Amino acid sequence: MGPRSVRGFDFSEGDNDMETKLLTATELADAMAVSLVTIRRMTRDGQIPVVRVRCLVRYDLLQVVEALQQDGPRRREVTDSPP
């Protein structure tokens, strides 16, 4: 089961799914404590789900958190020698 709250956003059991607040990329970056560039890269790479309304892109924080938890941590390995 996912977290009950993330940086001030509460996901209580009693919340109504019809009242889900969609966040802008800037709001999502603030909520997740990452840069806007990171959010845009994760969107471009399909790592996080988006809601598109015409030209607008919005995010459901709970869906983003769940998607990232399912995907697991991503690590880039660093080697001393060039490939």
Alpha carbon of 16 to those of 9, 10, 20, 50: distances in Å?
A: 14, 12, 7, 20
> What are the residue ranges spanned by the domains of the chain?
20-71
List per-residue pLDDT tens for the chain, 83 residues long.
Answer: 455 566 666 655 555 555 678 999 999 999 999 999 999 999 999 999 999 989 999 999 999 999 998 866 555 555 565 55
Beta bridge partners of 39: none
**DSSP for residue 2:** -
- Residue written as tokens 């996080």? 48
pTM of full prediction above 0.85: no
